[in-house]
Amino acid sequence: MYDAVIIGGGPGGYVCAIRLAQLGKKVALIEKSHLGGTCTNVGCIPTKALLTGAHLFSEVKDKSRKLGVNVGSVEYSLAQAMRHMQRVVGASRKGVEFLLKKNGVEYVKGTAVVQDKSHVAIKESGQILEAKNLVLAHGSVPVVFPPFDKVEGAWTSDDVFNMEKLPESIVITGGGVIGVEFSTYFSSVGTKVYLIELLDHILPSEDEDVVAEVKKSLTRRGVEIHESTKVIAIERVAPGYRVTARKNGEEITVEGEKILLAVGRKPNIPEDVKSLGVRIEKGVVTDEHMRTNIEGVYAVGDIRGQIMLAHVAMFEGIVAAHNIAGEEMKMDYSAVPSIIFSNPEVAIVGAREKELEGKDVIVSKFPVSANGRARTMEERDGFAKVIVDAETNVILGLAIVSPSATDMIMEGVIAVQNSLTLDQLLHSIHPHPTLTETILGALEGVEGMAIHI
């Protein structure tokens, strides 16, 4: 008998399995497809592999001559970019498999069928695994709805990674993180992009100043953005698709060689999990220990339908593992970083400014254009914004729009997670010349004492 059987080899599942093994437990992990889940195979990793190449392509075209690098003609090769992406994805899969083996986790390749909370069958072999605890980590699938589900050849985010040629034009529906990242990629490599968002603005969860910077960058790359716009019909026309949408009460049409539905993902909850009797509200419901309503059954990651991010799934897997091992550990979602690999990048943690309207807070911003390191990089767009409680001086939130924002955000994560104060960050010496000094400038501005602006 196993101490735990984990279904799903994505970030939540494999991290949970490894931590349980590190805690001395006998563990089996079942995965029907590729190890690494959505993130490794059709999400974070392949997207960033393609975006890295697209960003380099843009950098060479836009900056090389200014920086004294003469490269002549510059061309983008999708075939080579896809080979790079496939190498990275393959290495990541093998890396997960190596870590499972290294830590003594039994890896079972096959389709799990839950019989009850203690028994899981492998569909292909008929093998039955018995366990004291069961962890549901089934992940998610792309959301598809009318009229997209009736259109032959319509892409979801999963399909992009199988393309054999770059489309000359593409209509992307969904202006959230996925839509913005793919708009950044395709526009950077020369594809005409139409981005359609149903709500008032793209990145609807974020503050307007953050959105404005992203829109400015996309527009500069030729992206045509339509907000408050609902797709009502799609038809095939040579050589692609005609999309009819309603915008501010009027109908508009755009045409693209390809169409991409990028409105997010939904929990993957198969019938055997539903039959188990776990409580489901959008996703499988858990408490802060990652326990479901059934004793001995846990759920982590996208199957919960809450914050569907790989780094959240990983930490949920760790929390579940420690509780299965008999320790007391709870999830804390107060300082979850949100990152977007646009150009410039976006990273936010903690409270958004729009969430704190009417509250006694101080908001301070410092522009990237005033940062010395940014000037050496020929970068001008973006800012760092800090939100501070006016009475306690506790850091409530940090937003960064900047090159390397996704790396710099950890200062804010640590500050928000630990309720650090303005002085504690101000009295920490920031290295010069670095982009992190944009954060320092924003912190100095809280008291009206920014030095470099």
**Both tokens assigned to 389:** 């409680």
Is 432 known to be catalytic? Answer: yes
- Sheet containing strand 155-156, strands side by side: 155-156, 258-261, 169-173, 192-196, 224-226
Q: Is 204 left (phi over 0), alpha (psi -120 to 50) or beta?
A: alpha
**Chain centre distance of CA 229:** 24
429 sits in which H/E element: none
The span from the CA of 40 to the CA of 313, in Å, is 13
DSSP state of 200: S
The span from the CA of 201 to the CA of 188, in Å, is 21
Beta strands 258-261; 134-136: pairing state: unpaired
The span from the CA of 134 to the CA of 116, in Å, is 9
**Rounded alpha-carbon distances, angstroms, from residue 201 to 197, 205, 212, 215:** 7, 9, 9, 9
224 sits in which H/E element: strand 224-226
Catalytic position from the list 84, 226, 432, 452: 432
Burial of 175 (0-12, 13-18, 19+ CB in 10 A): buried
Catalytic residue numbers read 432
